[in-house]
Amino acid sequence: PLISGYMAAAVTKGVQKHEGRYTTIKHFAANDQETNRMASNSCVSERALREIYLRGFEIAVRESQPGFVMNSYNLINGTHTSERRDLMTDILRAEFGFKGCVMTDWVVPGMTEKNSHWGYPDPVNVIAAGTSLYMPGSQGDYQAILSGIKNGRITREQAEINVSQLLKYCK
Protein backbone atom coordinates (compact mmCIF):
# COMPACT_ATOMS: atom_id res chain seq x y z
CA PRO A 1 0.00 0.00 0.00
CA LEU A 2 2.83 2.41 0.73
CA ILE A 3 4.44 1.97 -2.68
CA SER A 4 1.18 1.99 -4.64
CA GLY A 5 -0.02 5.07 -2.75
CA TYR A 6 3.10 7.12 -3.41
CA MET A 7 3.32 5.95 -7.03
CA ALA A 8 -0.33 6.89 -7.65
CA ALA A 9 0.32 10.27 -6.04
CA ALA A 10 3.36 10.90 -8.24
CA VAL A 11 1.52 9.97 -11.45
CA THR A 12 -1.46 12.08 -10.39
CA LYS A 13 0.73 15.11 -9.70
CA GLY A 14 2.43 14.68 -13.08
CA VAL A 15 -0.82 14.44 -15.03
CA GLN A 16 -2.72 17.09 -13.12
CA LYS A 17 0.02 19.72 -13.43
CA HIS A 18 -1.46 20.22 -16.92
CA GLU A 19 -4.56 22.39 -16.77
CA GLY A 20 -7.82 20.54 -17.37
CA ARG A 21 -6.22 17.10 -16.97
CA TYR A 22 -7.22 14.73 -14.19
CA THR A 23 -6.57 11.20 -13.08
CA THR A 24 -8.94 8.51 -11.87
CA ILE A 25 -7.55 6.20 -9.24
CA LYS A 26 -9.29 2.88 -8.96
CA HIS A 27 -10.73 0.47 -7.80
CA PHE A 28 -11.84 1.68 -4.39
CA ALA A 29 -11.76 -0.71 -2.40
CA ALA A 30 -10.84 -4.31 -1.55
CA ASN A 31 -10.65 -5.19 -5.24
CA ASP A 32 -8.27 -8.09 -4.78
CA GLN A 33 -9.18 -10.54 -7.54
CA GLU A 34 -9.71 -10.44 -11.26
CA THR A 35 -11.67 -13.67 -11.59
CA ASN A 36 -15.34 -12.94 -10.90
CA ARG A 37 -14.43 -9.41 -9.78
CA MET A 38 -17.84 -8.07 -10.78
CA ALA A 39 -19.67 -10.53 -8.58
CA SER A 40 -17.52 -11.13 -5.53
CA ASN A 41 -18.05 -10.35 -1.89
CA SER A 42 -14.82 -9.44 -0.11
CA CYS A 43 -15.14 -10.35 3.57
CA VAL A 44 -12.65 -8.02 5.25
CA SER A 45 -12.06 -6.95 8.83
CA GLU A 46 -11.92 -3.23 9.65
CA ARG A 47 -8.22 -3.54 10.41
CA ALA A 48 -7.37 -5.28 7.12
CA LEU A 49 -9.54 -2.83 5.20
CA ARG A 50 -7.68 0.13 6.65
CA GLU A 51 -4.15 -1.29 6.70
CA ILE A 52 -4.17 -3.10 3.36
CA TYR A 53 -6.97 -1.91 1.10
CA LEU A 54 -7.45 1.75 2.01
CA ARG A 55 -3.94 2.87 2.90
CA GLY A 56 -2.73 3.31 -0.70
CA PHE A 57 -5.80 5.37 -1.55
CA GLU A 58 -5.32 7.47 1.56
CA ILE A 59 -1.74 8.29 0.59
CA ALA A 60 -2.67 9.09 -3.02
CA VAL A 61 -5.57 11.34 -1.98
CA ARG A 62 -3.70 13.21 0.74
CA GLU A 63 -0.56 13.67 -1.38
CA SER A 64 -2.10 14.57 -4.74
CA GLN A 65 -5.90 15.09 -4.70
CA PRO A 66 -6.77 13.12 -7.86
CA GLY A 67 -9.75 14.44 -9.80
CA PHE A 68 -11.66 11.17 -9.61
CA VAL A 69 -11.89 7.97 -7.63
CA MET A 70 -13.64 4.98 -9.19
CA ASN A 71 -15.20 2.51 -6.83
CA SER A 72 -14.98 -1.21 -7.39
CA TYR A 73 -17.59 -3.73 -8.53
CA ASN A 74 -17.19 -6.04 -5.56
CA LEU A 75 -19.16 -6.03 -2.37
CA ILE A 76 -17.43 -5.56 0.95
CA ASN A 77 -18.98 -7.56 3.74
CA GLY A 78 -22.23 -7.91 1.82
CA THR A 79 -22.70 -4.37 0.47
CA HIS A 80 -21.61 -3.01 -2.93
CA THR A 81 -18.70 -0.61 -2.45
CA SER A 82 -20.56 2.09 -4.37
CA GLU A 83 -23.46 1.86 -1.90
CA ARG A 84 -21.30 2.28 1.21
CA ARG A 85 -21.60 5.75 2.68
CA ASP A 86 -18.99 4.79 5.26
CA LEU A 87 -16.44 4.34 2.45
CA MET A 88 -17.48 7.06 -0.03
CA THR A 89 -18.33 9.88 2.35
CA ASP A 90 -17.12 9.14 5.88
CA ILE A 91 -13.68 7.72 5.01
CA LEU A 92 -12.79 8.95 1.51
CA ARG A 93 -14.16 12.47 1.84
CA ALA A 94 -14.30 13.33 5.54
CA GLU A 95 -11.29 11.37 6.78
CA PHE A 96 -8.94 11.39 3.76
CA GLY A 97 -10.03 14.86 2.56
CA PHE A 98 -10.97 13.86 -0.99
CA LYS A 99 -12.48 16.81 -2.85
CA GLY A 100 -12.97 15.28 -6.29
CA CYS A 101 -15.66 13.22 -7.95
CA VAL A 102 -16.46 9.62 -7.04
CA MET A 103 -17.72 7.47 -9.90
CA THR A 104 -18.84 3.91 -10.33
CA ASP A 105 -17.22 1.52 -12.71
CA TRP A 106 -19.60 0.69 -15.56
CA VAL A 107 -22.68 -0.94 -14.09
CA VAL A 108 -24.67 -2.61 -16.82
CA PRO A 109 -27.70 -4.74 -15.93
CA GLY A 110 -26.94 -8.35 -16.71
CA MET A 111 -23.18 -7.86 -16.40
CA THR A 112 -22.96 -8.73 -12.73
CA GLU A 113 -26.11 -10.81 -12.31
CA LYS A 114 -25.03 -13.60 -14.62
CA ASN A 115 -22.35 -14.70 -12.16
CA SER A 116 -23.82 -13.50 -8.89
CA HIS A 117 -26.89 -13.56 -6.75
CA TRP A 118 -25.92 -10.08 -5.47
CA GLY A 119 -27.36 -8.20 -8.43
CA TYR A 120 -26.08 -4.81 -9.38
CA PRO A 121 -25.93 -1.69 -7.21
CA ASP A 122 -29.15 0.23 -6.62
CA PRO A 123 -28.66 3.73 -8.12
CA VAL A 124 -30.60 5.27 -5.22
CA ASN A 125 -28.24 3.73 -2.65
CA VAL A 126 -25.23 4.73 -4.76
CA ILE A 127 -26.27 8.38 -4.88
CA ALA A 128 -27.23 8.38 -1.19
CA ALA A 129 -23.75 7.05 -0.34
CA GLY A 130 -22.12 10.07 -1.97
CA THR A 131 -21.09 8.67 -5.35
CA SER A 132 -21.35 11.53 -7.86
CA LEU A 133 -21.45 9.70 -11.17
CA TYR A 134 -23.28 6.45 -11.84
CA MET A 135 -21.86 4.94 -15.03
CA PRO A 136 -23.14 4.58 -17.64
CA GLY A 137 -26.60 5.37 -16.32
CA SER A 138 -29.88 4.62 -18.04
CA GLN A 139 -33.34 6.13 -18.22
CA GLY A 140 -34.43 3.60 -15.59
CA ASP A 141 -31.59 4.65 -13.27
CA TYR A 142 -32.54 8.30 -13.76
CA GLN A 143 -36.16 7.57 -12.92
CA ALA A 144 -35.14 5.55 -9.86
CA ILE A 145 -33.00 8.45 -8.61
CA LEU A 146 -35.84 10.95 -9.12
CA SER A 147 -38.19 8.60 -7.26
CA GLY A 148 -35.59 8.25 -4.51
CA ILE A 149 -35.55 12.02 -4.05
CA LYS A 150 -39.36 12.19 -4.03
CA ASN A 151 -39.76 9.39 -1.47
CA GLY A 152 -36.91 10.58 0.76
CA ARG A 153 -34.38 7.78 0.17
CA ILE A 154 -32.04 10.47 -1.21
CA THR A 155 -32.07 14.02 0.06
CA ARG A 156 -32.09 16.86 -2.42
CA GLU A 157 -29.05 18.21 -0.57
CA GLN A 158 -27.12 14.97 -1.21
CA ALA A 159 -28.04 15.04 -4.90
CA GLU A 160 -26.89 18.67 -5.14
CA ILE A 161 -23.61 17.86 -3.38
CA ASN A 162 -22.98 14.99 -5.80
CA VAL A 163 -23.74 17.13 -8.85
CA SER A 164 -21.59 20.02 -7.61
CA GLN A 165 -18.62 17.65 -7.26
CA LEU A 166 -19.08 16.57 -10.86
CA LEU A 167 -19.62 20.06 -12.29
CA LYS A 168 -16.16 21.16 -11.11
CA TYR A 169 -14.74 19.12 -13.97
CA CYS A 170 -17.08 20.33 -16.72
CA LYS A 171 -15.62 23.25 -18.65
* Residues carrying an active site annotation: 105
Contact indicator for 74, 85 with CB cutoff of 8 Å: no
Spatial separation of the C-alpha atoms in residues 115 and 6, rounded to whole Å: 35
The sheet that has 101-103: what strands, in order across it?
24-28, 68-71, 101-103
Q: Which residues pair with 102 in a beta bridge?
A: 69
> 55-64 and 2-16 are packed helices; what angle lies between their axes, rounded to 10 degrees?
30
Q: What's the chain's length in residues? A: 171
